């Protein structure tokens, strides 16, 4: 079946229209993995009338594999909502790991039909069609065109859009704040900004959370001999060391207030004064910061200077969590295998099924560690489910069972009781959610259906310190 309006067919995976995500309200399924991925389109836009999936050729998406029934499932619109309905298939339709008769689709839901996995995208599905799971790109359908090549930022549509943004601003003097959860690749973005900036100076990086206030200031601004006990020689700080280049301040939200004031002066005056000196030195640095904190909330709490944030946040680049771009998992696994010199390593379907259903709280960094462990345990054999960390294997504990309250894991069961609530959780409930999500404010907000600022208000009401729930 073809969609002549858009020139899209299941028979020709290259027949994908070039549509900018901001202009495309279309929902659909994005291919996460299938053994047949070389022959399947990377995106399935939903039809206004009816979208069907099955083995027969007259389905909207034909998946010719034995695990798929002739007419397996349909996608139907009910008002403003989209539902997936199982058509009495032999192996069932699985959403979020649970077998369903019908299910209202929510953005990022993982849908399994036979042995093919898809992520539901509530909007902008056409932009994903240009990106193949083997890493190739359909050039005529690519929604962005940029000059960046050989990037360590690996992925499809969402990462390509970030690289396009980097390409547009790299040669400007704009200060950039890179946001995203731990392990999403914030430093890689900073390095790409420097690499494509044309600046001849060095790239200097420091983790603001790793040093106490006194050491952080001396590392950043340098000092003169005799400035304090132990200062036996002059030290060039990182600001001066980055002269003509890029200064990357990781975890900027953890910078002490005293150091924030000095950094603001550096940015305003383009001069740095080493500790123990009265003579300022001119510097030319481009500042890139990274944080997983809510800096606006920190400003409201008096923990971060608003005037400094205004200086630093001339541009924001936000990195998506890995669980929101599961279509990149296979590509990332292959990238890590290649980087380890295991280009010919094979990966089993149960292995990919598990990594697709795991939420990856520490994102790409955690996935890389999992692949390295798998290579060590597999000892040159096919990477299989037992070679994954136990936490990832557990993602399949309930896979394929019928969704009931008793069979749901604790996190899912809590969603039933908390979703759509209008009242605030009590302190015990909020603490339990913080424990489960390891202090991830965004994850707690998603579960409660609330914005991050509301979660911060409740933390303040109950006198809860979020750092008590975050891993060291």
94-105 per-position pLDDT tens digit = 999 999 999 999
CB 378 within 8 A of CB 198: no
Sign of CA dihedral 40, 44, 47, 53: positive
Asked, for residue 151, whether it belongs to a domain, the answer is no
In this prediction, residue 3 carries a pLDDT of 36
CB within 8 Å of 470: residues ≥ 6 apart: 438, 439
Among 397, 430, 447, the domain-final residue is: 397
Task: Name the burial class of residue 436, with classes exposed (0-12), middle (13-18) and buried (19+) by CB atoms within 10 angstroms of its CB.
Answer: middle
Asked, for residue 117, whether it belongs to a domain, the answer is yes
DSSP assignment of 45-84:
EPPSS-EEEESSTTSSEE--STTS-TT-EEEEEETTEEEE
Asked, for residue 402, whether it belongs to a domain, the answer is no
Residue 222: CB atoms within 10 A of its CB come to: 23
Please state, in angstroms and rounded to a whole number, the distance separating the CA atoms of residues 372 and 367: 9
Coil/strand/helix, residue 121: strand
329-351 per-position pLDDT tens digit = 999 999 999 999 998 999 999 99
Which residues make beta-bridge pairs with 43? 30
In this prediction, residue 42 carries a pLDDT of 97
Q: Same domain, yes or no, for 292 and 226?
A: yes
Residue 282: give the domain boundaries: 157-318
Residue closest to 251 by CA, chosen among 173, 186, 189: 186
Q: Same domain, yes or no, for 303 and 332?
A: no
20-66 per-position pLDDT tens digit = 556 789 999 999 999 999 999 999 999 877 899 999 999 999 999 99
Please state, in angstroms and rounded to a whole number, the distance separating the CA atoms of residues 326 and 153: 15
pLDDT, averaged in runs of 10, over the chain (472 residues):
36 52 85 96 90 96 96 95 96 96 96 97 96 93 92 96 96 96 96 96 93 82 76 83 95 91 91 82 94 93 95 96 97 95 93 97 96 92 94 93 58 44 74 84 78 83 84 54
In this prediction, residue 5 carries a pLDDT of 32
CATH code for position 93:
2.60.200.20
Q: Same domain, yes or no, for 256 and 347?
A: no
Alpha-helical (H) ranges within 186-253 are 186-195, 213-221, 238-241
In this prediction, residue 276 carries a pLDDT of 79
In this prediction, residue 243 carries a pLDDT of 94
In this prediction, residue 68 carries a pLDDT of 97
In this prediction, residue 77 carries a pLDDT of 94
Domain count, the chain: 4
Residue appearing with tokens 């590509």? 331
Asked, for residue 152, whether it belongs to a domain, the answer is no
pTM: 0.80
CATH code for position 343:
1.10.8.60
Q: Same domain, yes or no, for 186 and 281?
A: yes
The helix-helix angle for 213-221 and 257-269 (nearest 10°) equals 20
CA atoms within 13 A on the CB side of 455: 23
Asked, for residue 184, whether it belongs to a domain, the answer is yes
Among 367, 397, 427, the domain-final residue is: 397
């Amino acid at each position: 079946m073809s969609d002549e309006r858009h020139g899209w067919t299941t028979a020709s995976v290259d027949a994908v229209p070039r549509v900018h995500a901001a202009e495309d309200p279309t929902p659909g399924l994005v291919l996460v993995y299938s053994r047949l991925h070389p022959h399947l389109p990377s995106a399935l836009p939903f039809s206004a009338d009816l979208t069907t999936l099955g083995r027969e050729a007259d389905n909207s998406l034909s998946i010719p594999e034995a695990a798929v029934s002739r007419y397996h499932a349909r996608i139907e619109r009910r008002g403003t909502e989209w539902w997936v309905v199982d058509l009495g298939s032999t192996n069932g339709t699985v959403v979020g790991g649970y077998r369903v008769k019908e299910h209202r689709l929510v953005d990022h839901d993982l849908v399994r039909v036979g042995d093919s996995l898809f992520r539901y995208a509530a909007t902008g599905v056409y932009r994903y069609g240009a990106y193949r799971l083997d890493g190739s790109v359909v050039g005529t359908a690519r929604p962005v065109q940029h000059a960046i090549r050989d990037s360590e930022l690996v992925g499809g549509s969402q990462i390509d859009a970030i690289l396009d943004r980097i390409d547009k601003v790299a040669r400007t003097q704009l200060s950039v704040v890179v946001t995203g959860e731990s392990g999403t690749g914030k430093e890689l973005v900073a390095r790409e900004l420097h690499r494509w900036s044309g600046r001849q100076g060095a790239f200097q990086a420091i983790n603001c959370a790793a040093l106490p206030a006194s050491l952080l200031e001396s590392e950043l601004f340098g000092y003169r001999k005799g400035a304090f006990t132990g200062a036996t020689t002059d030290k060039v700080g990182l600001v001066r060391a980055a002269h003509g280049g890029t200064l990357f301040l990781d975890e900027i939200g953890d910078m002490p207030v005293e150091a924030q004031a000095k950094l603001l002066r550096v940015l305003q005056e383009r001069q740095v004064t080493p500790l123990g000196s009265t003579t300022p030195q001119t510097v030319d640095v481009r500042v890139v910061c990274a944080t997983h904190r809510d800096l606006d909330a920190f400003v409201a709490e008096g923990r971060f200077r608003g005037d400094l944030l205004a200086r630093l946040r001339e541009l924001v680049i936000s990195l998506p969590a890995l669980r929101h771009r599961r279509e990149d998992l296979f590509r990332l696994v292959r990238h890590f295998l290649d980087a380890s010199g295991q280009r010919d390593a094979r990966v089993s379907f149960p292995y990919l099924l598990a990594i697709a259903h795991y939420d990856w709280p520490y994102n790409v960094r955690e996935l890389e560690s999992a692949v390295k462990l798998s290579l060590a345990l597999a000892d040159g054999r096919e990477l299989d489910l037992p070679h994954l960390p136990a936490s990832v294997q557990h993602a399949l504990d309930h896979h394929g069972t019928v969704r009931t309250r008793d069979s749901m894991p604790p996190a899912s069961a809590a969603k039933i009781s908390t979703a759509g609530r209008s009242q605030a959780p009590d302190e015990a409930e909020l603490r339990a959610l913080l424990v489960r999500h390891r202090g991830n404010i965004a994850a707690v907000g998603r579960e409660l259906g609330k914005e991050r600022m509301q979660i911060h208000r409740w933390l303040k009401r109950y006198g809860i310190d979020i750092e008590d729930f975050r891993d060291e």
